């Protein structure tokens, strides 16, 4: 099925990734699972996801202190337990179920079918966009806050936080326009530097606690004065857990970037076992490192920083570890630590950008709900960067005002992942695993419910993203409705034999379009007589019946399978696909390439109203078939002499 393509300029080929075998993205089909050109060792990919996950150390201790006060270390321990015994097992299952970077969305998509699955995925993509876009903007804004608060830069940058944030977003976009390998290299350097310097701060903090023997006992006294019973402490810590849930970010990104993880040479498209094993190493190692750092940072910041410093406007607000770095190790080391914190916070948006660059082309163009150029990395980078800039301006680069939307997006993804794993295990009859993940799902449902109740603006922002995605998707589906929408046509042996035999006879080959009813010889005899009478075909001009069975009208691009039948001496080709006009056009164009002259097809006019036909075409893949088939062929084949001919009579 060949069509002519317009020549593109070198700049356009570069911009649309058309001239590169590895354009820097990693949108991967299952057939490409064995390709090794763009993959990296799992620990390097962990650094890419880690710029988001580990960077939460920049603000998580301060959030915990504000939410829980003296209970901060205990509340953080609850967070770590949920991480290790809830989120980690859940995403290890997700890694096995969707090793091609689909994430938990694909698991829910498989549990439903047709339009319900597409609508569900669109809504979840709205939460993905919320979480990932706000990750980009919030992290850049937090990096700007650290820049502005640095004692050496405070005077120069004061009042320019929005401009600094926009500059950081431009730099991030520039890196992704250059290429993806550069992004991973920068991530490795930033993560190693940040974790190393953070460890130095934590060790120095522990030494400082040791130098003040009363610090630990004072902390115990502060906890027990408000909650004398151990169960009271635990209960209070559980209640503030939703406020700390930002410390769980990074897991969904970890499974979305799986196409970057290097597997084994023996991996297959269906079961890339090496990639799954290494992705699980990535998730487990990141969770263990983060758990240790979260508990350590919460302990030293709670014991060593005055509570007033955590409050809005305080020197430790949103930068607790940076405050200790300056206070305990001097302004020089503190500035170096600020630089590493600014770097990892700024680049935390890289993992979110990477996730969006995989999620968007994996779903929306396949659904026909985004332009086809959305499969290309560089145009998407510019679009996503523009959206991030708009969000930054809308929030004035304020970290606190974006936190609710960030938490809502992250928790919505984790909740959907938990429910997807639970339903998958339940469907497979694994009752023990299903019961365990039902509990995990309940924890995340509780957490997101409390978060939305306390910060409803996060849900509002997510709903805005969902509404925009739905509107753009519907518009794109309408605009792209007359694209060919078929990747290839596959014939079974009997269908191929009918075509091969017909190709040896008189040309052009003629087809009669038919919607099967009874499927008996009387139906085909009557249809043949009607079409021949209305289109002035004589009995000597042979014709093959061509029928379409709609598989899933919600699909956009698919493979058409063609079988055959012989009824009462009439030869019939029966094709299966998502839309009658698109399938007919695809088969005709494919037959055109197999014979000497473009084939002809004959229709009868539809008796339904035009408006009704439009809706039937968009929603059910039917409608006013003849003009739609002609238009699809016209768009697919620019050369009028090579187009199959469409005739309508009656």
Average per-residue pLDDT for the chain? 80
Is 94 within 8 Å of 410 (Cβ atoms)? no
Residue 521 is predicted with a pLDDT of 86
Encode pLDDT of 563-614 as tens digits. 998 888 889 999 988 788 888 998 999 999 888 889 999 887 766 655 554 5
DSSP result, 242-265 = GGGGGGGTTHHHHHHTGGGB---T
Residue 195 is predicted with a pLDDT of 93
Q: Which residues pair with 77 in a beta bridge?
A: none
Distances 646 to 271, 507, 625, 630 between C-alpha atoms, Å:
45, 15, 11, 6
What torsion do the CA atoms of 579, 581, 583, 587 make, to the nearest 10 degrees? Answer: 180
pLDDT for 439 beyond 90: yes
Which residues have a Cβ under 8 Å from the Cβ of 557 and sit 6 or more positions away?
Answer: 365, 366, 368, 485, 486, 487
648: phi then psi, degrees, rounded to nearest 5: -130, 130
Share of the chain residues as helix, strand and coil, in percent rounded to the nearest 5? 70, 5, 25
Evaluate if pTM is beyond 0.75. no
pLDDT for 190 beyond 60: yes
- 3-state secondary structure at position 550: strand
Encode pLDDT of 9-37 as tens digits. 666 665 566 444 444 444 445 444 444 45
Residue 9 is predicted with a pLDDT of 66
Encode pLDDT of 382-393 as tens digits. 888 898 899 889
The answer to which of 200-209, 434-443, 519-528 has the lowest mean pLDDT is 519-528
| Structure-token match 């710029």, residue found | 51
Token pair for 445: 């449902």
**What's the average model confidence in pLDDT over 622-626?**
69
**Separation of alpha carbons 496 and 490, rounded Å:** 9
Token pair for 52: 């988001």
Residue 429 is predicted with a pLDDT of 86
Residue 21 is predicted with a pLDDT of 42
Which among 271, 288, 265 is positioned nearest to 81, based on CA atoms? 288
Beta strands 570-577; 558-567: pairing state:
antiparallel
Percent above pLDDT 70 for the chain: 84
Residue with more model confidence, 484 or 438: 438
**Separation of alpha carbons 436 and 425, rounded Å:** 10
Residue 6 is predicted with a pLDDT of 45
Residue 283 is predicted with a pLDDT of 92
Is 376 within 8 Å of 23 (Cβ atoms)? yes
CA angle 389, 390, 394 (to 5 degrees): 120
Return the number of other C-beta atoms located less than 10 Å from residue 332's C-beta.
Answer: 9
pLDDT for 43 beyond 50: yes
Encode pLDDT of 501-557 as tens digits. 888 888 888 898 888 888 888 888 888 888 888 877 777 778 889 988 887 766 776
Encode pLDDT of 354-384 as tens digits. 778 777 777 776 666 666 666 677 788 888 8
Which among 111, 74, 4 is positioned nearest to 237, based on CA atoms? 74
Is 205 within 8 Å of 421 (Cβ atoms)? no
pLDDT for 488 beyond 80: yes
């Amino acid at each position: 099925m060949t069509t002519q393509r317009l020549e593109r300029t070198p700049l356009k080929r570069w911009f649309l990734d058309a001239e590169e075998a590895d354009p820097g993205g990693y949108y991967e089909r299952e057939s490409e699972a064995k390709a090794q050109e763009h993959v990296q060792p799992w620990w390097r990919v962990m650094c890419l996801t880690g710029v988001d996950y580990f960077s939460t150390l920049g603000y998580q201790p301060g959030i915990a202190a504000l939410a829980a006060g003296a209970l901060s270390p205990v509340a953080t321990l609850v967070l770590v337990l949920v991480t290790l015994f809830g989120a980690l097992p859940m995403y290890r299952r997700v890694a096995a179920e969707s090793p091609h970077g689909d994430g938990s969305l694909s698991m829910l998509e498989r549990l439903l079918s047709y339009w319900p699955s597409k609508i569900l995925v669109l809504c979840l993509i709205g939460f993905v966009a919320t979480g990932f876009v706000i990750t980009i903007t919030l992290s850049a804004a937090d990096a700007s806050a650290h820049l502005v608060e640095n004692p050496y830069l405070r005077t120069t940058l004061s009042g320019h936080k929005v401009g600094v944030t926009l500059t950081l977003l431009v730099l991030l976009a520039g890196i992704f326009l250059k290429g993806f390998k550069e992004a991973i290299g920068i991530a490795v350097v930033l993560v190693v530097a940040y974790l190393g310097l953070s460890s130095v701060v934590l060790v120095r903090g522990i030494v400082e606690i040791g130098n003040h023997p009363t610090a630990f006992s004072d902390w115990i006294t502060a906890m027990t004065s408000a909650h004398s019973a151990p169960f009271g402490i635990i209960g209070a810590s559980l209640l503030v857990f939703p406020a700390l849930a930002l410390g769980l970010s990074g897991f969904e990104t970890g499974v979305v970037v799986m196409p970057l993880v290097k597997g084994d040479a023996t991996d297959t498209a269906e079961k890339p076992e090496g990639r799954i094993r290494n992705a699980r190493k990535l998730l487990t190692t990141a969770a263990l490192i983060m758990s240790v750092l979260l508990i350590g940072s919460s302990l030293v910041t709670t014991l060593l920083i005055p509570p007033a410093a955590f409050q809005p406007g305080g020197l430790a607000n949103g930068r607790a570890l940076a405050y200790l770095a300056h206070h305990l190790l001097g302004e020089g080391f503190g500035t170096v630590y600020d630089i590493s914190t600014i770097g990892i916070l700024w680049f935390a948006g890289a993992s979110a950008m990477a996730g969006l660059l995989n999620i968007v082309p994996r779903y929306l163009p396949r659904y026909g709900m985004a332009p086809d150029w959305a499969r290309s990395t560089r145009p998407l980078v510019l679009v996503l960067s523009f959206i991030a800039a708009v969000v930054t301006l809308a929030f004035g680069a304020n970290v606190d005002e974006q936190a609710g939307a960030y938490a809502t997006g992250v928790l919505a993804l984790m909740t959907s992942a938990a429910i997807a794993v639970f339903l998958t295990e339940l469907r497979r009859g694994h009752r023990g695993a299903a019961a365990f993940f039902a509990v995990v799902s309940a924890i995340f449902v509780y957490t997101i419910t409390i978060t939305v109740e306390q910060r409803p603006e996060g849900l509002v922002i997510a709903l805005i993203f969902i509404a925009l995605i739905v509107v753009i998707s519907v518009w794109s589906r309408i605009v792209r409705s007359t694209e060919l929408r078929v990747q290839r046509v596959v014939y079974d042996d009997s269908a191929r034999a009918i075509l091969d035999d017909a190709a040896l006879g008189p040309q052009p080959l003629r087809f009669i379009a038919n919607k099967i009813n009874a499927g008996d010889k009387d139906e085909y005899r009557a249809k043949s007589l009607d079409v021949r009478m209305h289109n002035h075909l004589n009995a000597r001009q042979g014709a093959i019946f061509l029928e379409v069975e709609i598989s899933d009208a919600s699909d956009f691009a698919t493979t058409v399978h063609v079988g055959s039948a012989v009824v009462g001496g009439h030869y019939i080709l029966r094709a299966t696909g998502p839309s009658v006009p698109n399938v007919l056009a695809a088969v005709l164009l494919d037959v055109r390439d197999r014979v000497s002259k473009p084939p002809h097809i004959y229709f009868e006019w539809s008796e339904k109203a035009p408006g009704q036909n439009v809706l039937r075409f968009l929603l059910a893949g039917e409608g006013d078939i003849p003009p739609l088939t002609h238009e699809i062929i016209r768009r697919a084949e620019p050369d009028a002499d090579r187009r199959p001919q469409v005739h309508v009579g009656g």
